[in-house]
Amino acid sequence: MTATATDIQMRLLIIEDDRESADYLVKAFREVGYVADLASDGEEGLALAEGGDYDVLVVDRMLPKRDGLSLIGALREKGNRTPVLILSALGQVDDRIKGLRSGGDDYLPKPYSFAELLARIEVLSRRRGGPAEDTTYRVGDLELDRLSHRVTRGKDELTLQPREFRLLEYLMKHAGQVVTRTMLLENVWDYHFDPQTNVIDVHISRLRSKIDKGFERPLLHTIRGAGYMIRDGIR
């Protein structure tokens, strides 16, 4: 899997009542070097979330004793702002809206791929680390000015379409992190359906031809089975 971008070990709390999927998650997260705790019902989850200092909470929506949304509501009421990713078998648009309204930061319908979950967790945890809202993003010799909408690579100024600019902006904001196709579709285009075609790949390849073509070091990488990542240097 991808190397974690954080220097300090990431601490996760997984609140999931299905034993098997919970064990799978804990094991998979430990393999990528995270610390993952487990709670198997809503009450236990709430108690642990309040006590421990976690970077991200992964909350199943339907839990015994206290359901996921009410757990998040209780946490937020007490001023706990730990990022929450909701996992749910309810994957329709209105379910996700409800989930996000109740205080969740991201929503992933089941079944999901672990790569997708991992990518989203990394993006969420980065949020906590402080404002990524710099006016200029830099990756290698690629520079993006969010105010003037200027993009330069080395000495060359690149001309991007508005949507290409937003795509690059999102990738650079999460430089060094894997960004999945669904995340791009959600955050750059604001669509929550999954297209049957490789429509995002085409946009990426257009962007790639503008920022990497003719340069020695490619910056925009394809991560097999997961998505894309912009970073300086070869992995």
Partner 1 sequence: MTAFGKLIRTTAFRLTLVYLFLFALFAASLLGYFAWNTRRLITEQITTTVNAETGEISDIFGRRGLRGLVVTIENRALRPGANLYLVTAPAGQAIAGNVGSLAPGVMATSGWSETAYRRLDEQDTADHHALVRVTELPSGFRLLIGRDLEERRRLFGIVAKAAQWSVLIVVVLGLGGGIFVARRVLRRIDAMTGTTQRIMAGDLSGRLPVGRSGDELDRLAENLNAMLERIEALMMGLKEVSDNIAHDLKTPLTRLRNRAEEALAKSGTEAEYRSALERTIEESDGLIRTFNALLMIARAESGQARGNMDDFDAAGVAQGIHELYEPLAEDSGMTLHVKTESTPLHGNRELISQALANLVENAIKYGKPVSAAQPLGADTVLNADQREIWIEARRAGDQVLLSVSDHGPGIPVADRKHAVERFVRLEASRTQPGSGLGLSLASAVATLHGGDLRFDDAHPGLIVTLAIPALSGASDGLAAQTHDVPQKAA
Question: Can you read off the two tokens belonging to residue 212?
Answer: 């990497």
How is residue 210 written in tokens?
């503008």
> Looking at beta carbons only, is 104 or 109 nearer to partner 1?
109
Smallest gap, in angstroms, from Cβ of residue 92 to partner 1?
Answer: 6
Which of 19, 163 has the CB closer to partner 1? 163
Which of residues 56 and 178 has its CB atom nearest to partner 1 in the complex? 178
Q: Based on C-alpha coordinates, what's the Rg of the chain?
A: 19
Q: How far is the CB of 151 from partner 1 (least distance, A)?
A: 17
Q: What are phi and psi of 222, to 5 degrees?
A: -95, 125
Considering the complex, what minimum distance in angstroms separates the CB of residue 106 from partner 1? 17
Please, are residues 15 and 58 in contact by the beta-carbon 8 Å criterion?
yes
Joined tokens for residue 140: 């290698």
Report, in Å, the least distance between residue 137 CB and partner 1.
23
Applying CB under 8 A, which residues contact partner 1? Answer: 91-94, 97, 109, 111, 113, 161, 163, 189, 191-199, 202-203, 206, 225
Helices (H), the chain: 19-31, 42-51, 68-77, 93-101, 114-128, 162-173, 181-187, 199-211
At closest approach, how far in Å is the CB of 115 from partner 1?
A: 10
Q: What's the rounded Cα separation, in Å, for the pair 16 and 178?
A: 24
> How many other CB atoms are found less than 10 A from the CB of residue 72?
26
Report in angstroms how near the CB of residue 201 gets to partner 1 at its nearest: 9
Question: Residue 135 or 197: which CB sits closer to partner 1?
Answer: 197
Q: Which is nearer to partner 1, 70 or 113 (CB)?
A: 113
| Dihedral pair phi/psi, residue 227, rounded to 5° | 170, -130
- Report whether 110 contacts 117 (CB < 8 A): no
Sign of CA dihedral 191, 194, 196, 197: positive
Of 66 and 166, the one with the shorter C-beta distance to partner 1 is 166
